[in-house]
Amino acid sequence: MRTSDPRVVVGLDNGGTANNATLLDASRRFLVDRLVETPSRVLEGPKVAVEALAEAMENVLALTGTDPGRVAAVGLDTPGPASAQGVISSRGATNFSAPAWRGYDFRGAFEERIGLPVIYNNDGNAAALYAHHAYFGPEEAVLHSSVSAIVGTGLGGGVIVEGQVVKGAAGMAGELGHVFIPMDGLIGEGQSVPGCNCGFVGDVESVASLTGIEKNLLPYWLTRYPDHELARAESIRKAAKLVRGYGERGDPLALQLFEQQAMALGRLFTIAANFSDPDAYFVGGGVVEAAPHFRDWFLTKVREHTQLRAEQEAVVHFALVPDLDMAGSRGAAIAALETLPPL
Ligand SMILES: [Zn+2]
């Protein structure tokens, strides 16, 4: 694309409390280098939330002094489950609890509201797309493939092939959290096989997520360390949030717990290696938003537990998902930019 191309795209990351907005120009330069947040108001239902998205867009344009006439498309991402076209699941979704959200065409409604093309991705896929482009750069991105795993409340992420998000027939590709992994040698002595909110037993998210820590890992490790300070926390939910701080300080319980998470991600990446042999594996989320020594330890452990062939070892990259709080909006913007026809 020529640098004289005046077009810009807006990226909007729709979260439970805030919309995070960014702006990308046609030369692939982000015009915003920080979080630009406005209330998402998703709890107030779809109509209010669509208006809130429009406000988020107007706000980032005003903030950067950008003429709204230059906006050629908008990228939108939300947490799932939703279809590839941005229709919220008919069974509802955590962030979209009001009945009016069920089966709601969020992307379509927003597109109608603003009269511009809106390109949808789920938040895991958008962050994966940003990680991929940030790592390889705009020129090289199309030459490479990657798998991103982002450890949050659940386990999100995405699969990128030749610079593009793999969405799948129903929009459900890249649901890495619900891939089964072998539990043999991962779970400790007397530890039961962990269950996931999705109903599966022994998938990646059942171990590698905050929910997994709270429901599965921490209750087990506290039986092994009954005198641990975390056993006296007000609730298991609070204790689960504190465990990363213990990991940073080298606490043995926390390190064993996080090694289980690293092993789960390594086993997921081993499956990916045999499935599509990507160039790069990216890890993101709270566990790597930690002190550098702990973050590096975790990434090293993930790599140790990823079994690659010698030919793969020679070319593979392991890295962190950068700028995690902005990765969704930035990935959404990249996806929108890629849909623009040449001028
Ligand atoms: Zn699951």
The confidence band for 286, taking pLDDT boundaries of 50, 70 and 90, is confident
Cα of 342 from ligand 1 centre, angstroms: 41
Average pLDDT, the chain: 95
Cα of 194 from ligand 1 centre, angstroms: 10
Q: Check residue 3 and give its pLDDT.
A: 61
Tell me, what DSSP letter sits at residue 162?
T
The confidence band for 1, taking pLDDT boundaries of 50, 70 and 90, is very low
Strands (E), the chain: 8-14, 18-25, 37-39, 71-78, 118-122, 146-151, 155-161, 164-165, 280-285, 317-320
Cα of 154 from ligand 1 centre, angstroms: 9
Task: Compute the distance between CA of residue 224 and CA of residue 260 in angstroms, rounded to an integer.
Answer: 15
The confidence band for 126, taking pLDDT boundaries of 50, 70 and 90, is very high
Which chain residues have CB less than 5 Å from ligand 1, an ion? 178, 196, 198, 200, 203, 205
Cα of 155 from ligand 1 centre, angstroms: 9
Q: Check residue 237 and give its pLDDT.
A: 96
Q: Check residue 287 and give its pLDDT.
A: 84
Q: Check residue 215 and give its pLDDT.
A: 96
pLDDT surpassing 50 at residue 240: yes
Cα of 270 from ligand 1 centre, angstroms: 18
The confidence band for 140, taking pLDDT boundaries of 50, 70 and 90, is very high
Averaged pLDDT, 236-262: 97
Q: Check residue 256 and give its pLDDT.
A: 98
Task: Compute the distance between CA of residue 251 and CA of residue 245 in angstroms, rounded to an integer.
Answer: 9
Averaged pLDDT, 53-60: 98
Cα of 198 from ligand 1 centre, angstroms: 4
Cα of 206 from ligand 1 centre, angstroms: 6
Contact of 12 with 57, CB cutoff 8 Å: yes
Contact of 133 with 163, CB cutoff 8 Å: yes
Cα of 176 from ligand 1 centre, angstroms: 9
Contacts 24+ apart (CB under 8 A), 86-91: 86/118, 86/120
Which has the minimum average pLDDT: 41-50, 93-102, 191-200? 93-102
- Dihedrals φ, ψ of 211, to 5°? -60, -40
Tell me, what DSSP letter sits at residue 277?
-
pLDDT surpassing 90 at residue 196: yes
Cα of 89 from ligand 1 centre, angstroms: 16
Contacts 24+ apart (CB under 8 A), 308-317: 308/270, 308/273, 309/273, 312/273, 312/277, 315/279, 316/279, 316/280, 316/281, 317/135, 317/279, 317/280, 317/281
| Bond into 81 cis (ω within 30) | yes
Cα of 179 from ligand 1 centre, angstroms: 7
pTM of the predicted structure, to 2 decimals: 0.95
**Of all residues in the chain, what percent carry a pLDDT higher than 70?**
99
